[in-house]
Amino acid sequence: MSFEKSLFAVKITELINLARKADENCKEFGANKHRYKLNPVIPLSQIRDFEKRHKIKFPQGYVDFLTQVGNGGAGPDYGIYSLEEVEFQNYYNHSNAICHYTLVKNRPDYYTLPYTVEGKEIMFNSQFIKEKWDDLNNKLDLADKSGNDAEYDKIYIEAYNGLLEIVNSGCTGCVMLICDGDMCGEVLDFSHELDFMPSPLHMTFEDWMIKHFENVIEKYKKA
């Protein structure tokens, strides 16, 4: 059954093709990994199943990308995760598996962890202030010094409330998609070590993707 693609899906597909030709030697950071290629798209039913199991709602632009452009592949940094990679990477982060990976990997609820913390306001919204982030880090320091691992993990998870990792930026850096609150659909730079305050880019997923590939085309276009 055929359907009409969104304007974003049409535009970003065209830009990715143009970027591939402009940066044919994949000199852009991360491009040697994704090589401007896209995975096959996935059906909307797979998205809805993911959302139901993980108690999350994807912004429409991100849905359009996965179902009309590609299930991961070409994108900023090392490229957009496939939905399968999203599922793994975000469980890894939300469970604080940085410290307990081998234990978490074998847990029976590996694919059932919610991406939102019920009863907790999401960290990143239009009212976000530096003091809020500093307060979270102070609580983490106190829990760490007291040796209270359970409390540390509980506080650590709050930093991820409403966020979805969609891109690996190298080392502990990544790009998060905000999936709740009044900034839903926007992206931000994030570090899993929480060693610097995340930086909202004040762009929707669609605008961020379009800007990235427009920049690549401009940067590597033949004179």
Per the CB < 8 A criterion, the answer to whether 65 and 213 are in contact is no
- Please count the other Cβ atoms lying within 10 Å of the Cβ belonging to residue 106: 8
Q: What is the pLDDT of residue 115?
A: 64
Q: Tell me: the pLDDT tens digits for 173-188?
A: 999 999 988 999 999 9
Give the tens place of pLDDT for each residue, 8-34.
999 999 999 999 999 999 999 999 999
C-beta separation of 203 from 146 below 8 A: no
Mean local confidence (pLDDT), 94-119: 48
Average per-residue pLDDT in the chain?
A: 85
User: Cα(113)–Cα(95) distance, rounded to whole angstroms?
Assistant: 8
Among 5-14, 76-85, 157-166, the minimum mean pLDDT is found in 157-166
- Is the pTM higher than 0.75? The answer reads yes
Q: Does residue 39 surpass a pLDDT of 80? A: yes
Query: What does the pLDDT read at residue 61?
Result: 97
Query: What's the rounded mean pLDDT across residues 151-166?
Result: 83
Nearest-angstrom CA–CA distance, 139 and 159: 12
**Listed residue (35, 10, 19, 29) closest to 175, CA to CA:** 29
Say yes or no to pLDDT of 109 above 60. Answer: no
pLDDT beyond 70 at 223: no
Q: Is 17 helix (H, G, I), strand (E, B) or coil?
A: helix
DSSP letter assigned to residue 38? B
pLDDT exceeds 80 at position 1: no
